[in-house]
Amino acid sequence: YQGRKDHQIKLHGQRIELGEIERCLLNITSISACVVMKWKDDYLVAYVQSSHINEEESRRYCQSHLPSHMIPSIFIILDKFPLNANGKIDRKQLPSPDFSLSALLSSVKSDTPLNQFEERIHTIWCQVLHCDENHISGTASFFSVGGHSLRFIELYYRYQSLFNFNARSLSIGLFLQQPTIRQHAQLLQTLPSNDAQTIRWQSLVINEGKTSLN
Protein backbone atom coordinates (compact mmCIF):
# COMPACT_ATOMS: atom_id res chain seq x y z
CA TYR A 1 0.00 0.00 0.00
CA GLN A 2 1.70 3.19 -1.21
CA GLY A 3 -0.78 5.75 0.11
CA ARG A 4 -2.12 8.74 -1.84
CA LYS A 5 0.00 11.16 -3.85
CA ASP A 6 0.64 13.26 -0.77
CA HIS A 7 2.06 10.10 0.88
CA GLN A 8 -0.56 10.05 3.61
CA ILE A 9 -1.38 6.66 5.05
CA LYS A 10 -3.71 5.42 7.75
CA LEU A 11 -2.02 3.42 10.49
CA HIS A 12 -3.86 2.16 13.58
CA GLY A 13 -6.70 4.57 12.92
CA GLN A 14 -4.49 7.63 12.55
CA ARG A 15 -3.42 9.49 9.43
CA ILE A 16 0.32 9.83 9.06
CA GLU A 17 2.22 11.82 6.45
CA LEU A 18 5.25 9.73 5.51
CA GLY A 19 6.97 12.81 4.12
CA GLU A 20 7.01 14.38 7.58
CA ILE A 21 8.98 11.42 8.95
CA GLU A 22 11.34 11.51 5.97
CA ARG A 23 11.95 15.24 6.41
CA CYS A 24 12.69 14.68 10.08
CA LEU A 25 15.34 12.08 9.29
CA LEU A 26 16.84 14.19 6.49
CA ASN A 27 17.56 16.89 9.07
CA ILE A 28 20.35 14.59 10.26
CA THR A 29 23.35 15.79 8.26
CA SER A 30 24.83 12.30 7.84
CA ILE A 31 21.67 11.01 6.10
CA SER A 32 21.68 11.71 2.36
CA ALA A 33 18.42 9.97 1.43
CA CYS A 34 15.46 8.40 3.22
CA VAL A 35 12.33 6.43 2.35
CA VAL A 36 9.60 5.58 4.88
CA MET A 37 7.09 2.89 3.93
CA LYS A 38 4.14 1.11 5.50
CA TRP A 39 4.52 -2.67 5.81
CA LYS A 40 1.98 -5.36 6.74
CA ASP A 41 -0.69 -2.83 7.80
CA ASP A 42 0.95 -2.41 11.21
CA TYR A 43 4.51 -1.21 10.74
CA LEU A 44 6.45 1.82 9.56
CA VAL A 45 9.86 1.01 8.10
CA ALA A 46 12.49 3.71 7.50
CA TYR A 47 15.20 3.09 4.92
CA VAL A 48 18.15 5.40 5.49
CA GLN A 49 21.11 6.03 3.20
CA SER A 50 24.13 6.77 5.37
CA SER A 51 27.52 5.36 6.30
CA HIS A 52 27.82 7.36 9.51
CA ILE A 53 24.71 6.57 11.55
CA ASN A 54 23.19 3.46 13.11
CA GLU A 55 19.65 2.34 13.87
CA GLU A 56 19.73 3.37 17.53
CA GLU A 57 20.85 6.92 16.70
CA SER A 58 18.16 7.24 14.02
CA ARG A 59 15.46 6.01 16.42
CA ARG A 60 16.61 8.29 19.22
CA TYR A 61 16.48 11.32 16.92
CA CYS A 62 12.94 10.47 15.80
CA GLN A 63 11.85 9.95 19.41
CA SER A 64 12.97 13.48 20.26
CA HIS A 65 11.27 15.09 17.24
CA LEU A 66 8.15 13.05 16.42
CA PRO A 67 5.11 11.74 18.35
CA SER A 68 5.30 8.09 19.42
CA HIS A 69 2.86 6.77 16.81
CA MET A 70 5.08 8.15 14.02
CA ILE A 71 8.30 6.41 15.12
CA PRO A 72 9.25 3.72 12.57
CA SER A 73 9.29 0.18 13.93
CA ILE A 74 12.42 -0.69 12.00
CA PHE A 75 15.29 1.39 10.61
CA ILE A 76 17.29 -0.17 7.79
CA ILE A 77 20.62 1.56 7.15
CA LEU A 78 22.07 1.23 3.64
CA ASP A 79 25.31 2.63 2.24
CA LYS A 80 23.59 3.20 -1.08
CA PHE A 81 19.98 2.96 -2.27
CA PRO A 82 19.18 0.84 -5.36
CA LEU A 83 18.25 3.03 -8.33
CA ASN A 84 16.08 2.31 -11.36
CA ALA A 85 16.85 3.21 -14.99
CA ASN A 86 15.55 6.74 -14.40
CA GLY A 87 17.95 7.30 -11.52
CA LYS A 88 15.19 7.23 -8.91
CA ILE A 89 15.10 5.03 -5.81
CA ASP A 90 13.91 1.55 -6.79
CA ARG A 91 11.58 0.72 -3.90
CA LYS A 92 11.02 -2.81 -5.15
CA GLN A 93 14.71 -3.57 -4.65
CA LEU A 94 14.86 -2.33 -1.05
CA PRO A 95 15.51 -5.23 1.36
CA SER A 96 12.55 -6.69 3.22
CA PRO A 97 12.55 -5.94 6.97
CA ASP A 98 12.90 -8.66 9.59
CA PHE A 99 9.72 -8.67 11.66
CA SER A 100 10.73 -11.54 13.94
CA LEU A 101 10.16 -10.79 17.61
CA SER A 102 13.84 -11.28 18.50
CA ALA A 103 14.92 -8.81 15.81
CA LEU A 104 12.35 -6.22 16.87
CA LEU A 105 13.26 -6.48 20.55
CA SER A 106 17.00 -6.33 19.90
CA SER A 107 16.57 -3.18 17.81
CA VAL A 108 15.03 -1.27 20.72
CA LYS A 109 17.52 -0.68 23.51
CA SER A 110 16.45 -0.65 27.14
CA ASP A 111 16.38 2.76 28.77
CA THR A 112 15.91 3.94 32.35
CA PRO A 113 14.52 1.32 34.78
CA LEU A 114 10.77 0.92 35.06
CA ASN A 115 9.00 1.95 38.25
CA GLN A 116 6.72 -0.47 40.10
CA PHE A 117 3.55 0.40 38.18
CA GLU A 118 5.37 0.34 34.84
CA GLU A 119 6.62 -3.15 35.72
CA ARG A 120 2.96 -4.19 36.00
CA ILE A 121 2.31 -2.90 32.49
CA HIS A 122 5.49 -4.61 31.28
CA THR A 123 4.18 -7.93 32.62
CA ILE A 124 0.91 -7.49 30.72
CA TRP A 125 2.75 -6.60 27.50
CA CYS A 126 4.97 -9.68 27.81
CA GLN A 127 1.92 -11.90 28.19
CA VAL A 128 0.14 -10.39 25.19
CA LEU A 129 3.30 -10.50 23.05
CA HIS A 130 4.38 -13.94 24.35
CA CYS A 131 7.87 -12.70 25.18
CA ASP A 132 8.00 -13.25 28.94
CA GLU A 133 11.78 -13.67 29.09
CA ASN A 134 12.60 -10.38 27.37
CA HIS A 135 12.86 -6.86 28.72
CA ILE A 136 10.88 -4.31 26.72
CA SER A 137 11.99 -0.70 26.80
CA GLY A 138 9.60 1.66 28.56
CA THR A 139 9.77 4.07 25.61
CA ALA A 140 9.36 1.50 22.81
CA SER A 141 6.15 1.58 20.77
CA PHE A 142 3.97 -1.53 21.08
CA PHE A 143 4.23 -1.84 17.30
CA SER A 144 8.04 -1.75 17.31
CA VAL A 145 8.33 -4.84 19.54
CA GLY A 146 6.15 -7.30 17.66
CA GLY A 147 2.69 -5.94 18.37
CA HIS A 148 -0.03 -5.62 15.74
CA SER A 149 -3.62 -4.36 15.67
CA LEU A 150 -5.30 -7.52 16.97
CA ARG A 151 -2.83 -7.83 19.83
CA PHE A 152 -3.32 -4.17 20.68
CA ILE A 153 -7.07 -4.79 20.97
CA GLU A 154 -6.31 -7.77 23.23
CA LEU A 155 -4.02 -5.54 25.31
CA TYR A 156 -6.74 -2.90 25.65
CA TYR A 157 -9.37 -5.45 26.72
CA ARG A 158 -6.94 -6.83 29.27
CA TYR A 159 -6.41 -3.33 30.66
CA GLN A 160 -10.19 -2.89 30.92
CA SER A 161 -10.53 -6.18 32.79
CA LEU A 162 -7.67 -5.57 35.21
CA PHE A 163 -8.22 -1.87 35.87
CA ASN A 164 -12.02 -1.81 35.65
CA PHE A 165 -12.74 1.04 33.23
CA ASN A 166 -14.81 1.55 30.08
CA ALA A 167 -14.15 3.23 26.75
CA ARG A 168 -15.69 6.49 27.96
CA SER A 169 -13.07 6.74 30.70
CA LEU A 170 -10.07 5.85 28.53
CA SER A 171 -10.62 5.16 24.84
CA ILE A 172 -8.44 2.80 22.83
CA GLY A 173 -7.51 5.81 20.70
CA LEU A 174 -5.67 7.39 23.62
CA PHE A 175 -3.54 4.27 24.03
CA LEU A 176 -2.84 4.16 20.28
CA GLN A 177 -1.66 7.77 20.32
CA GLN A 178 0.66 6.98 23.24
CA PRO A 179 1.78 3.40 22.52
CA THR A 180 4.58 2.86 25.06
CA ILE A 181 4.72 1.16 28.45
CA ARG A 182 5.56 4.44 30.14
CA GLN A 183 2.69 6.29 28.46
CA HIS A 184 0.19 3.50 29.14
CA ALA A 185 1.19 3.53 32.80
CA GLN A 186 0.59 7.28 32.96
CA LEU A 187 -2.84 6.90 31.35
CA LEU A 188 -3.88 4.07 33.67
CA GLN A 189 -2.68 5.92 36.75
CA THR A 190 -5.27 8.61 36.06
CA LEU A 191 -7.96 6.06 37.00
CA PRO A 192 -9.28 5.97 40.57
CA SER A 193 -7.70 3.15 42.57
CA ASN A 194 -9.84 0.46 44.18
CA ASP A 195 -9.46 -2.86 45.99
CA ALA A 196 -10.88 -4.80 43.04
CA GLN A 197 -7.93 -3.68 40.93
CA THR A 198 -5.53 -5.04 43.54
CA ILE A 199 -7.34 -8.40 43.62
CA ARG A 200 -7.33 -8.66 39.82
CA TRP A 201 -3.65 -7.69 39.69
CA GLN A 202 -2.70 -10.32 42.29
CA SER A 203 -4.60 -12.89 40.23
CA LEU A 204 -2.65 -11.85 37.14
CA VAL A 205 0.69 -12.29 38.92
CA ILE A 206 -0.27 -15.70 40.32
CA ASN A 207 -1.45 -16.91 36.92
CA GLU A 208 1.23 -15.12 34.92
CA GLY A 209 1.47 -16.54 31.45
CA LYS A 210 -1.83 -18.37 31.82
CA THR A 211 -4.34 -15.52 31.69
CA SER A 212 -6.54 -15.80 28.63
CA LEU A 213 -9.26 -13.65 27.14
CA ASN A 214 -11.00 -16.65 25.63
For residue range 35-45, list pLDDT tens digits in order: 999 987 778 89
What is the DSSP code (8-state) at residue 146? T
Verify that 77 and 120 share a domain, yes or no. Answer: no
Query: What residue numbers bound the domain in which 136 lies?
Result: 116-206
Residue 141 and residue 182 in contact, taking contact as beta carbons nearer than 8 Å: no
Verify that 77 and 130 share a domain, yes or no. Answer: no
pLDDT at 208: 55
17 belongs to a structural domain: yes
In angstroms, the CA 43 to CA 171 distance is 22
CATH of the domain at 36: 3.30.300.30
Verify that 48 and 124 share a domain, yes or no. Answer: no
Verify that 67 and 136 share a domain, yes or no. Answer: no
Verify that 123 and 196 share a domain, yes or no. Answer: yes
Domain boundary among 65, 99, 133: 99
User: What element of type H or E holds 151?
Assistant: helix 149-163
User: What element of type H or E holds 45?
Assistant: strand 43-49
* Counted domains in the chain: 2
104 belongs to a structural domain: no
- The DSSP bridge partners found for residue 9 are 16
Task: State pLDDT tens for residues 84-123.
Answer: 999 999 999 999 887 665 556 556 666 667 899 999 999 9
87 belongs to a structural domain: no
Verify that 53 and 122 share a domain, yes or no. Answer: no
Domain boundary among 44, 68, 99: 99
CATH of the domain at 168: 1.10.1200.10
What is the DSSP code (8-state) at residue 9? E
Task: State pLDDT tens for residues 33-92.
Answer: 999 999 877 788 999 999 898 888 898 899 889 987 888 888 999 999 999 999 999 999
Residue 180 and residue 141 in contact, taking contact as beta carbons nearer than 8 Å: yes
Rounded to two decimals, the pTM is 0.60
